[in-house]
Chain A
């Protein structure tokens, strides 16, 4: 058997069995007030715990069957190779882009207008309302293009900037009620 496939199936199965057991014995009892069956004003009815319990039992059985089958049978299925480097790079790109998107506006307001100025009072006025979106959006698109090509070029930065500009214009110019990220959170 393809050992990568076998390891991955075993990993899915184990994770699911553990998760399903945790849901069944920890999460559901602690985080749902009614049981699987609930009695309310002398009426027996289905409680809020019924569906998650049903779902968790389904996951438990499926995970168990996948584990047993993987250990006992020799299957040759196609298996997509996952690159851990990509996962880490993508996570970093997302983290940094969103951080830039959230923080650029308030930080620049603080630097340029002094401590007393607040971003929330300027979030609807240009150019402040575009700062976070431009910096965060451009960096997200630029990094993703560079990752796809495995190369860094000025051209990609220009494409990223222009596409972010276009998206900002698409939402901001025709619609007064739509707020670009991250301005709704301030």
Chain B
């Protein structure tokens, strides 16, 4: 098959395979239906103070797998729903920030700076339109970059990097994530190494499941979804309940503001926003393509760049639409670009990418990594067809977002009033139930709670959890690649130091770790 045939096959697969509704020539497939469903859920979750896209993805994944099973047909609907949630939550996150001055995530804090003053001035509707326009522009741009860059990056990796270089690249990525996430290099490394250790339990090539302590529960392996959701979601719930418990009035009831003023956004006003959106979406895409660097930095950089570009009144921080546009375009542009390392290298860059990879790993039939983008003219590379189907679903989600996102945002602004104190316990029970129904085994719930406690202690001690999760997900492919590289080298103990590229990657890993420690030491007050 030629490249164009693959693209066409991907589009057809997304739109027609696995039909849910057939009305004569009109076919609505399960993947498209679930993109729409995921998008609505994503906007709702993003707009709910205290919840976020990764929360919803974590809850949805076990439910979706329980519903669709582990068949090849399940892959696209599950991925479609996750993509829908990811995109919906990206735009929905601006709603509480703008209307209620309640940022659901750190990056949304920048949105409150101009969004809430606009709401106070009676321009809440306009602020939401600005946020939607900027967010969906940044998201679409970032997706286009993903479609272009991921195949080229993967092909380059496949062409120029052998097994030792791929092993060294994984070490470099892990070091990078460990160092850039959080405030402490060595706590990041600690988390990453702990992730590798946990991933070692009951895996390996020997008949005896290693590190299983003779336990039947451990011998069958730790359920990946329970471990990941425990560390990411349950720990966050524990932390939030503790914070609310500490000050019983932390979460004051959000008061909706009157939207009596101008809530329209003319073409002229949109054109005025374009330079800010353009700059921020480029920043967001570059930041997003680097694993581990989240939306917060992108939002901060986008806002700062916008502030320098801005002339006139109102100035940034006093209700300037340009401030909202700069922030939202930057943080939304991260989401698509984050999938560049995930799809082309198999290295998840953020939590959303973790769930995409987790879904692919759990269901099977699609292993994100360089081999996905192998354009084989003589045979059909089904993984490549799935990759283009995934791109099509992302494109469909973007179209939906352009068409209905702004309307949903305004609608949900009035609906979402549930206090966090009530919402999080309910989400907690939902999480326990969704993990249980997947395996119908209470030990999965115990493992979920144990790793929830691990995540809670890590967060409370300033140890970042993202390096743990990424190392845990990457451990399997990393070990396989290192083993294969070692055997291919004829058991050369210096197999990671052969050639030019692998030593450079290893050197870069060392430099990143050492330089980050030195820079932090230099910037500390003493």
Query: Which positions in A face B, CB cutoff 8 Å?
Result: 8-9, 11-12, 16, 23, 27-28, 31-34, 43-52, 54-59, 61-63, 65-66, 69, 73-77, 79-83, 86, 90, 94, 98, 102, 133, 137, 140-141, 144-145, 147-151, 156, 159-160, 163-164, 167, 171, 175, 177-185
The answer to whether A181 and B197 have CB atoms under 8 Å apart is no
User: CA–CA, A33 to B204, complex, Å?
Assistant: 11
- CB pairs A–B below 8 angstroms (30 shown): A12-B187, A28-B211, A32-B206, A34-B206, A45-B487, A46-B483, A51-B196, A52-B197, A52-B211, A58-B193, A59-B194, A62-B186, A65-B186, A73-B521, A77-B183, A79-B462, A90-B241, A90-B242, A137-B429, A145-B422, A148-B245, A150-B245, A151-B248, A167-B429, A167-B430, A178-B437, A179-B437, A180-B433, A181-B445, A184-B441
User: CA–CA, A90 to B433, complex, Å?
Assistant: 18
Known contacts A137-B433, A185-B440; 11 additional CB pairs below 8 A are A32-B208, A55-B200, A59-B194, A65-B186, A66-B190, A140-B432, A163-B429, A167-B429, A175-B66, A177-B66, A180-B433
The answer to whether A56 and B421 have CB atoms under 8 Å apart is no
- B residues less than 8 Å from A185 (CB atoms): 440-442
B12 contacts partner chain A, Cβ-Cβ < 8 Å: no
Q: A148-B241, A181-B433 are in contact. Are A31 and B212 (CB under 8 A)?
A: yes
The answer to whether B193 and A75 have CB atoms under 8 Å apart is no
- A residues less than 8 Å from B245 (CB atoms): 83, 86, 147-148, 150
Residue from A34, A55, A183 within 8 A of B194 (CB atoms): A55
> How many residues in B have their beta carbons less than 8 Å from beta carbons of A?
69
User: CA–CA, A44 to B490, complex, Å?
Assistant: 8
B19 contacts partner chain A, Cβ-Cβ < 8 Å: no
B524 contacts partner chain A, Cβ-Cβ < 8 Å: yes
Q: How far is the CB of A26 from chain B (nearest CB, A)?
A: 11
B497 contacts partner chain A, Cβ-Cβ < 8 Å: no
Residue from B204, B212, B437, B491 within 8 A of A180 (CB atoms): B437
User: CA–CA, A87 to B12, complex, Å?
Assistant: 52
Residue from B208, B436, B475, B479 within 8 A of A181 (CB atoms): B436
Q: How far is the CB of B315 from chain A (nearest CB, A)?
A: 29
Q: A62-B186, A90-B241, A148-B244 are in contact. Are A73 and B526 (CB under 8 A)?
A: yes
- A residues less than 8 Å from B1 (CB atoms): none
- B residues less than 8 Å from A163 (CB atoms): 425-426, 429
Q: A43-B487, A45-B486, A54-B196 are in contact. Are A80 and B460 (CB under 8 A)?
A: yes
B482 contacts partner chain A, Cβ-Cβ < 8 Å: yes
Q: How far is the CB of B371 from chain A (nearest CB, A)?
A: 21
B213 contacts partner chain A, Cβ-Cβ < 8 Å: yes
User: CA–CA, A47 to B491, complex, Å?
Assistant: 12
The answer to whether A73 and B524 have CB atoms under 8 Å apart is yes
Residue from A82, A102, A140 within 8 A of B425 (CB atoms): A140
Residue from B189, B433, B525 within 8 A of A58 (CB atoms): B189
The answer to whether A90 and B238 have CB atoms under 8 Å apart is yes
B210 contacts partner chain A, Cβ-Cβ < 8 Å: yes
Residue from B193, B425, B521, B524 within 8 A of A55 (CB atoms): B193
- B residues less than 8 Å from A75 (CB atoms): 524-526
- B residues less than 8 Å from A33 (CB atoms): 206-208, 210
User: CA–CA, A35 to B212, complex, Å?
Assistant: 16
The answer to whether B442 and A141 have CB atoms under 8 Å apart is no
Q: For residue A137, which residue of chain B has the nearest CB?
A: B429
User: CA–CA, A148 to B430, complex, Å?
Assistant: 18
The digit string for B31-61, where 1 denotes a CB below 8 A from any CB of A, is: 0000000000000000000000000000000
- A residues less than 8 Å from B214 (CB atoms): 31
Query: Which positions in B face A, CB cutoff 8 Å?
Result: 63, 66-67, 183-184, 186-187, 189-190, 192-194, 196-197, 199-200, 204-208, 210-214, 238, 241-242, 244-246, 248, 420-422, 424-426, 428-430, 432-433, 436-437, 439-442, 445, 449, 459-463, 475, 478-479, 482-483, 486-487, 491, 521, 524-526
Q: How far is the CB of B271 from chain A (nearest CB, A)?
A: 42
- A residues less than 8 Å from B190 (CB atoms): 12, 16, 58-59, 62-63, 66
The answer to whether B526 and A144 have CB atoms under 8 Å apart is no
Q: For residue B437, which residue of chain A has the nearest CB?
A: A178
The answer to whether B433 and A179 have CB atoms under 8 Å apart is no
The answer to whether A62 and B197 have CB atoms under 8 Å apart is no
User: CA–CA, A151 to B211, complex, Å?
Assistant: 44
- B residues less than 8 Å from A73 (CB atoms): 521, 524, 526
The answer to whether A12 and B463 have CB atoms under 8 Å apart is yes
Q: For residue A5, which residue of chain B has the nearest CB?
A: B462
The answer to whether A144 and B208 have CB atoms under 8 Å apart is no
User: CA–CA, A144 to B263, complex, Å?
Assistant: 40
The answer to whether B449 and A94 have CB atoms under 8 Å apart is yes
- A residues less than 8 Å from B442 (CB atoms): 98, 102, 181-182, 184-185
User: CA–CA, A8 to B461, complex, Å?
Assistant: 7
User: CA–CA, A58 to B194, complex, Å?
Assistant: 8
Q: For residue A168, which residue of chain B has the nearest CB?
A: B433
User: CA–CA, A62 to B204, complex, Å?
Assistant: 25
The answer to whether B211 and A27 have CB atoms under 8 Å apart is yes
- B residues less than 8 Å from A140 (CB atoms): 425, 428-429, 432
Max chain A CB contacts within 10 Å: which of B190, B208, B424, B437? B190
Which 10 residue pairs of A and B lie closest in terms of their CB atoms, listed nearest first? A184-B440, A58-B193, A144-B425, A48-B204, A55-B196, A148-B421, A44-B491, A55-B197, A62-B190, A148-B244
- B residues less than 8 Å from A34 (CB atoms): 204, 206
User: CA–CA, A175 to B441, complex, Å?
Assistant: 17
User: CA–CA, A73 to B199, complex, Å?
Assistant: 33
User: CA–CA, A27 to B242, complex, Å?
Assistant: 34
The answer to whether B186 and A66 have CB atoms under 8 Å apart is yes
The answer to whether A48 and B437 have CB atoms under 8 Å apart is no
